Amino acid sequence: MSSKHTSKDPLAQGRHFFEDVWDVVRQVPRGRVTTYGAIAGYLGSRMSARMVGWAMNAAHALPDVPAQRVVNRNGMLSGKAHFGSPTRMQELLESDGVIVEHDQVSDFARLFWDPAVELAL
């Protein structure tokens, strides 16, 4: 996967970034979670965690992107409002085997999947 694109069109660059984000999220294993910031850092754009969030919001139309596996840096389900119902993100995580209490991933440190480590060359 390449996060470097030659297009000078900012919209095209945004689309490429979203696709790179989705490629990373597709690799997060069941029962694990990652963060917006970890994905941004892995893609060489550490200050773009918010843009990763936008990519995740746009991923809901893509059935092969497990958007529920991306949470904020504290393990909170900060994107849950974008899942169609207030409990859908938690339900999807629980079907993955992740325990969620009070909108936060239990044992977040143990379940955290860092793409910079897991996908290192």
**Could you tell me the two tokens for 68?**
């529920």
CATH number at 33 reads: 1.10.10.10
Running along the chain, 121 residues long, what does each successive block of 10 average in pLDDT? 48 75 98 98 92 94 96 97 95 98 98 96 58
Phi/psi at 100 (5° precision):
-125, 130
pLDDT (0 to 100) of residue 63: 94
Domain for residue 4, yes or no? Answer: no
pLDDT (0 to 100) of residue 45: 87
Domain for residue 1, yes or no? Answer: no
Q: What is the pTM of this model?
A: 0.87
pLDDT (0 to 100) of residue 47: 87
Burial of residue 40 (number of CB atoms within 10 Å: 0-12, 13-18, 19+)? buried
Q: How many domains does the chain have?
A: 1
Segments forming the whole domain that contains residue 73: 10-113
Domain for residue 95, yes or no? Answer: yes
Domain for residue 45, yes or no? Answer: yes
Domain for residue 119, yes or no? Answer: no
Domain for residue 3, yes or no? Answer: no
Domain for residue 38, yes or no? Answer: yes
